[in-house]
């Protein structure tokens, strides 16, 4: 076959043939013109963005490379979370700041008051998670507009308070299995993050998806391990994507080993999830009573004519909810137990509150757990200091937001915005000079509780129309695990806040695990 630079023959139906002769000079000229126009477009756009975003504090913006040089100077480690925390401290008195990724601006907001109009808007709902679509599809967590509204309406009944309360026995079963596992360690050190991940994972499958016997009867032990390993690998993989500049370039990221690994494990999840869904559909066709569970709602919609939902949609939603559901709870519990292991005084105070009311091993209802005031303060303070989901991405139409002293700023349309929830939770203008200090008692003092100034100063589960749909379920699980583990064990660790650095993926997690010891108390 001849080179396209000499002759290309284009065949049409029947007898039509056209010879396309392309001169090398012409080709180079056309290619150069196209590249030049693209560079001109990006340059003009960058100039316009600079002008529209003038006045916003942020890292230096050099031609073409943006804030690259300054980021390189500031990075103390490979963890992107460290960089964000350093930039946040540098602009600790600013409600918002900007980083330039090449020619692209990214706005970070760390003031609850500035963030409020974005979170409460009924129209500014676009989530800038293009990379995540490759894994989650276009489901509830990623979609926007009418599709998001329809899917949210469909799935909300699965998280009704009465449904959540009905999970009491199932949650308690998995909590006590964890207690038994920890007891068998006989005081030896172990990775509590790994065990919490496994326990919250199986609990979620049983409660929200109804995978009880199916999980063991349809899926071999080897495949179950492979499924969980795939989930954990994708979590770590996501942290690598967050830190990788190449993975932010659409054309290039598909050729990285990170993306190759992700595609491999995504196929593992899809294969096993489809098997479970098929089994559940067959089972449901024989049922007369159908509990209101998330998967049941999806299957009902799938089987309804012209519903617009496909089996691929159901698979995407299941994988997304499994990933987010167990991962958020695991993240919160990991950092709560880390902080309690560090602060023995707080741990003892919490234990006293629990033992004054309940006996170890007692199955506790959501109402009973919610009546524990100090437990609530400990959870809130841990989620303030170690926010499970530190950053939320948004991008939509232009929007006016308040900054300070009655001033406002207009966020231009389609400019990526990062709601830096972790920064909001440590914003000193709201939380005071001791914002970095762990102290659960601050939530007992209205003068120190920044929520009294603005409810959006504390939003661990986001807020507004796109808040976490499963937050009440997550709180039930978190409180149940804390109550039993603290009543049964005294947790300790050799790690410190300096040696255990949070790693940012979809959530905050300990990259090398959380190693603790557990002394039996009963």
Annotated binding site for heme: 468
Q: And the tokens for 26?
A: 């012409």
User: Distance between CA 382 and CA 371 in Å, rounded?
Assistant: 18
| Parallel/antiparallel/unpaired status of strands 502-504 and 391-394 | unpaired
**SS3 for 499?**
coil
Instruction: Say if residue 52 is exposed, middle or buried (CB neighbours under 10 Å; 0-12, 13-18, 19+).
Output: middle
Instruction: Give the tokens for residue 162.
Output: 């009465």
Q: What are the distances in angstroms from CA 110 to CA 52, 89, 505?
A: 20, 11, 19
Check if the beta carbon of residue 132 is closer than 8 Å to that of residue 253. Answer: no
Report which of 237, 307, 187 is spatially closest to residue 509, judged by C-alpha positions: 237
Tokens 């150069």 belong to which residue? 32
Cβ neighbors of 408 (< 8 A, separation 6 or more) are 400, 401, 402
- Measured CA angle at 354 (ends 352, 357), to 5 deg: 105
Which residue, 505, 512, 514, 499, is CA-closest to 196? 514
Q: Which residues contact 417 (CB under 8 A, 6 or more apart)?
A: 106, 107, 108, 109, 118, 128, 393, 394, 395, 411
d(C-alpha 102, C-alpha 246), whole Å: 12
Is 243 in a helix, a strand, or coil? helix
Which residue blocks in 218-310 are alpha helix, DSSP H? 221-243, 250-253, 257-284, 294-303
Beta carbons within 8 Å of 396's beta carbon, 6+ residues apart? 123, 124, 125, 126, 144, 413, 414
The two tokens of residue 368 are 């009973």
Q: How many CB atoms lie within 10 A of CB 359?
A: 9
C-alpha 457/C-alpha 407 separation (Å) is 19
> Known binding site: residues?
468
Distance CA 139, CA 482 (A): 31
- Residue 105, phi then psi, degrees to nearest 5: -85, 145
Q: Is 467 exposed, middle or buried (0-12, 13-18, 19+ CB in 10 A)?
A: exposed
As a whole number of angstroms, the distance between CA 186 and CA 166 comes to: 33
Give CA 230 to chain center in angstroms: 17
Burial class (CB within 10 angstroms; exposed 0-12, middle 13-18, buried 19+) of 302? middle
Helices assigned H by DSSP within 386-470: 421-424, 428-431
């Amino acid at each position: 076959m001849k080179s396209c630079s000499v002759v290309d023959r284009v065949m049409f139906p029947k007898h039509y043939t056209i010879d396309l002769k392309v001169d090398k000079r012409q080709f180079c000229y056309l290619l150069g013109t196209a590249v030049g126009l693209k560079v001109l477009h990006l340059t003009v756009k960058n100039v316009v963005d600079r002008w529209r975003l003038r006045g916003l504090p942020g890292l230096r913006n050099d031609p073409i490379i943006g804030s690259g040089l300054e980021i390189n100077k500031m990075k103390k480690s490979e963890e992107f979370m460290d960089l964000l925390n350093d930039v946040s401290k540098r602009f600790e008195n600013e409600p918002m700041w900007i980083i330039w990724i090449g020619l692209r601006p990214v706005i970070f907001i760390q003031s609850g008051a500035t963030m409020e109009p974005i979170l409460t808007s009924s129209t500014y709902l676009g989530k800038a998670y293009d990379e995540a679509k490759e894994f989650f599809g276009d489901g509830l967590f990623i979609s926007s507009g009418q599709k998001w509204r329809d899917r949210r309406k469909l799935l909300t009944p699965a998280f009704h308070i009465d449904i959540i309360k009905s999970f009491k026995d199932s949650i308690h079963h998995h909590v006590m299995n964890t207690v038994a596992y920890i007891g068998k360690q006989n005081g030896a050190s172990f990775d509590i993050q790994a065990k919490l991940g496994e326990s919250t994972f199986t609990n979620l499958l049983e409660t929200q998806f109804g995978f009880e016997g199916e999980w063991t009867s349809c899926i071999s032990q080897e495949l179950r391990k492979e499924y969980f390993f795939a989930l954990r690998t994708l979590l770590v993989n996501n942290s690598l994507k967050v830190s990788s500049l190449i993975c932010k370039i659409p054309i290039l990221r598909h050729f990285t080993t990170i993306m190759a690994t992700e595609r491999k494990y995504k196929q593992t999840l899809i294969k096993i999830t489809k098997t479970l869904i098929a089994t559940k559909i067959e089972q449901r066709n024989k049922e007369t009573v159908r509990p209101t569970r998330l998967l049941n709602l999806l299957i009902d919609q799938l089987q309804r004519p012209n519903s617009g939902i496909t089996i691929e949609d159901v698979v995407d939603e299941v994988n997304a909810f499994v990933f987010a559901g167990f991962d958020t709870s695991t993240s919160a519990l990991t950092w709560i137990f880390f902080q309690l292991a560090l602060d023995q005084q707080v741990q003892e105070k919490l234990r006293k509150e629990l033992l004054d009311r309940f006996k170890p091993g007692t199955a506790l209802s959501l109402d009973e757990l919610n009546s524990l005031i100090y437990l609530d303060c400990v959870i809130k303070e841990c989620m303030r200091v170690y926010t499970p989901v530190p950053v939320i991405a948004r991008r939509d139409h232009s929007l006016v937001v308040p900054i300070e002293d009655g001033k406002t700023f207009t966020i231009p349309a389609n400019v990526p915005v990062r709601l830096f929830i972790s920064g909001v939770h440590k914003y000193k203008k709201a939380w005071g000079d001791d914002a970095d200090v762990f102290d659960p008692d601050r939530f007992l003092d209205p003068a120190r509780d920044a929520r009294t100034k603005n409810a959006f100063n504390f939003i661990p589960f986001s807020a507004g129309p796109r808040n976490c749909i499963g937050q009440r379920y997550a709180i039930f699980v978190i409180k149940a695990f804390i109550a039993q583990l603290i009543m049964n064990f005294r947790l300790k660790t050799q790690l410190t806040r300096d040696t255990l650095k949070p790693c940012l993926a979809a959530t905050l997690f300990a990259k090398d695990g959380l190693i603790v010891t557990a002394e039996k108390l009963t």
